[in-house]
Amino acid sequence: MSLSSRYFIFYNDELIKVSQRKFNDFYFAKKPVFEEFSGEVIKMINIVVELKNRKPYRIVRSHFLQHKIDKSGAIDQEYERGYAGLASYMLNEPKTKTTNGLVDASQVFEEKALRNKHAWQPSENVERMAYEQVFKC
């Protein structure tokens, strides 16, 4: 079994396919590859697929995240800092604590705020459009 990722930007009710190279330049190399979105928060879709004979066979998981683009078209480093906190909550569910009858739910609220800032929930239609594109590619 081999896995592969497919990337899309959802913008103005359209899916825009993003190549693996462009995503890597944007996310890992921090290059300004999205000048057309400078100053905006974009909705990105990452779909991980299992390949059979080098073709998408089945969807393994999907991520729907938002990334802010700086004025040059690169990923906004300051905005992205929140992802570390969100990732830690994805690995370890936030907990509430009770001390002397007082409930401390600050971790739960922090996780919710980070999820609202960095993740998005697509409509069923958008999700279906993305999945259809994966199998067309």
pLDDT tens for each residue of 36-64: 999 999 999 999 999 999 999 999 999 99
Q: What percent of the chain has pLDDT over 90?
A: 66
Q: Residue 97: what pLDDT?
A: 76
Helices (H), 28-81: 77-80
Mean pLDDT across the chain, nearest whole number? Answer: 87
Position 23 scores a pLDDT of 97
Question: For residues 135 and 23, is the Cβ–Cβ distance under 8 A?
Answer: no
Give the pLDDT confidence score for residue 7 in this predicted structure.
Answer: 98
Q: Which of 5, 2, 15, 8 is nearest to 125 (CA)?
A: 15
* 70 burial via Cβ count (<10 Å: 0-12, 13-18, 19+): middle
Domain locations in the chain as residue ranges:
2-136
pLDDT digits (tens, 9 = 90+) for 61-100: 999 999 999 999 999 998 887 666 655 655 566 667 788 8
pTM of the model: 0.79
